[in-house]
Structure 1
Amino acid sequence: MMSNKKVAIVTGGNGGYGAGIAEVFKREGADVYITGRNEEKLHTTAERLGVKAIRADVQHAADWDMVFETVLKESGSVDFLINNAGGGINKAHLSEISDEDVIACVTINLTGVILGSKRAAVIMKERGTGTIVNISSVVAREAWPGWAVYSAAKGGLDQIHEMFVWRITAVWCPRHPDHPLLGTNRFHGQRQPAHPGQRNP
């Protein structure tokens, strides 16, 4: 069991892997915050799990600032950051994907992780402890037809994760990011909305 009320932030915590991760942290005694863009789904999940909800979009730096300010004000620390939020795009040849979809996919899956991790690292280095976990994908390592942009974004996530492992002292990152193959999320068994920005979280 966790002691001294560890504090965890789980992005994309309103469903799928994120909700499952948040549930485990809560069960182990942590003070848990979940973030997401769909406010109704976010608060429904938070109420079900008994955790706290902060509506935020990982693509926006100002939202990240608000998340950390809120958590620090209410709980006093950040012990875990779980970068789970992400989203794919409709499977298509690279030449058929819109510029808008390319930008949104990279921003959600890579830029958001960087924005959150750099802020968490500052807090954790000052405290001398902390853990950052990044949820990647098997497509970061394997070439799947129609997944070029998503694969590139997750591959970039893997690389930034490696830099955090080697460059940030006092902050623990697992040696490798988690690479789910198949699981309970929106990517399998249903068509994705046309634009990544329309998805939740």
Structure 2
Amino acid sequence: MNITNKTILVTGGGSGIGYEIAKLLKQQGNTVIIAGRNADKIKKAGEKLGITAIACDVTREADIEKLVTRIQQEYPALSVLVNNAGVANLYKLGEQAGAFQKAKQEFEVNYFAPLLLTEKLLPVLSQQPEAAIVNITSNVTFHPLILLPTYSDAKAALHSHTVALRHTLGKNSSIKVFEVMPSLVNTEATKDMGGSNGMHPQVVAEALLKGMQTDQYEIYVGATAQQRADYFANPVAAIENFNAGL
């Protein structure tokens, strides 16, 4: 897929992976729009990158409707949607863990939001001669990390949905569906889970670009490819190794 002269929307673009994706895609000659919940943060990121920034809480349907309306009116050539916004709660399942409330928050951001935004923007994307949907998931799509139990649930659900969407659109659509699955990334959001030992978010952005350019629909970044191979070879051992010492 050609990733130049495209109009691209990146959610969660105020920092971390989303920011690096927006930065790299702009450098490729694209028109990039970023969206994020924190109005001040997303505005500053947009100013720094020299791109349009839109405040949008993707857990609010009204915010998504406003975002979609603005895209339709101001950016009718939108051809790439990157669903990157995410949230994770670090905890273990058990009594008084509050798993239900934590899962509700994580599914709202990590699963329901990309489903709704994607569906609302399909009419715009389908008008383009070449278009793409990119969902950022994780290495936990194949097996859970017990310190991120319901985050793992949400990313596994998004992985399943991504596969279904890809096969549904298939060859009868101009829309390609990509999934990016990074292992640990060093961002502000991962500092409490050892993120300083993770890869720089720029690595994820570069892998995304290369994967899209070569039509690699599942893009494994960092340790994910080996972890996936280990899981399919021996699921029980892989899950034990993935959670060793936790």
Provide the C-alpha distance between the structure 1 equivalents of 2:140 and 2:19, rounded to a whole number of angstroms. 22
Show the counterpart of 1:135: 136
Provide the C-alpha distance between the structure 2 equivalents of 1:70 and 1:94, rounded to a whole number of angstroms. 44
Q: Normalising by structure 1, what TM-score?
A: 0.86
- Normalized per residue, the structure richer in strand is 2
Deviations 1:5-48 (A, max 9, x none): 42100000000000000001111111111011111111111111
User: Which piece of structure 1 moves more, 178-187 or 93-102?
Assistant: 93-102
Provide the C-alpha distance between the structure 2 equivalents of 1:86 and 1:132, rounded to a whole number of angstroms. 16
Show the counterpart of 1:34: 34
Provide the C-alpha distance between the structure 1 equivalents of 2:94 and 2:162, rounded to a whole number of angstroms. 25
Seen in structure 2, the aligned counterparts of structure 1 residues 94 and 128 have a Cα distance that, compared at 3 Å, is: farther
**8 Å CA contact retained: 1:94, 1:146:** no
Show the counterpart of 1:8: 8
1:93 pairs with 2:93? yes
Show the counterpart of 2:19: 19
Unaligned runs of 5+ in 2: 194-246
Aligned equivalent of 1:179, options 168, 178, 181: 181
Seen in structure 2, the aligned counterparts of structure 1 residues 127 and 94 have a Cα distance that, compared at 3 Å, is: farther
Q: Which amino acid aligns with 2:192?
A: Q
Q: Which runs of 4+ in 1 moved over 6 A?
A: none
Identity of aligned residues (%): 25
Q: Which amino acid aligns with 1:141?
A: F
Higher-Rg structure is 2
**8 Å CA contact retained: 1:105, 1:149:** yes
Seen in structure 2, the aligned counterparts of structure 1 residues 159 and 136 have a Cα distance that, compared at 3 Å, is: same
**8 Å CA contact retained: 1:37, 1:56:** yes
Provide the C-alpha distance between the structure 2 equivalents of 1:91 and 1:160, rounded to a whole number of angstroms. 25
Seen in structure 2, the aligned counterparts of structure 1 residues 94 and 84 have a Cα distance that, compared at 3 Å, is: farther
Which has the bigger relative contact order, CA under 8 A and spacing at least 6? Answer: 1
Provide the C-alpha distance between the structure 2 equivalents of 1:13 and 1:163, rounded to a whole number of angstroms. 26
Q: How does 1:33-182 map to 2 (within 5 A)?
A: 33-95=33-95, 96-168=97-169, 169-174=173-178, 177-182=179-184
Provide the C-alpha distance between the structure 1 equivalents of 2:6 and 2:101, rounded to a whole number of angstroms. 39
**8 Å CA contact retained: 2:32, 2:51:** yes
**8 Å CA contact retained: 1:42, 1:53:** yes
Q: Which amino acid aligns with 1:172?
A: K
Provide the C-alpha distance between the structure 2 equivalents of 1:188 and 1:60, rounded to a whole number of angstroms. 24
CA RMSD of aligned residues (A): 1.8
Deviation for aligned residue 1:143: 2.3
**8 Å CA contact retained: 2:10, 2:83:** yes
Provide the C-alpha distance between the structure 1 equivalents of 2:81 and 2:114, rounded to a whole number of angstroms. 10
Provide the C-alpha distance between the structure 1 equivalents of 2:94 and 2:25, rounded to a whole number of angstroms. 38
Q: Which amino acid aligns with 2:50?
A: G
Provide the C-alpha distance between the structure 1 equivalents of 2:141 and 2:11, rounded to a whole number of angstroms. 20
Provide the C-alpha distance between the structure 1 equivalents of 2:24 and 2:85, rounded to a whole number of angstroms. 17
**8 Å CA contact retained: 1:94, 1:148:** no
Deviations 1:148-177 (A, max 9, x none): 211110000001101110112221112xx1
Paired positions, count: 188
**8 Å CA contact retained: 2:59, 2:108:** yes
Seen in structure 2, the aligned counterparts of structure 1 residues 146 and 126 have a Cα distance that, compared at 3 Å, is: same
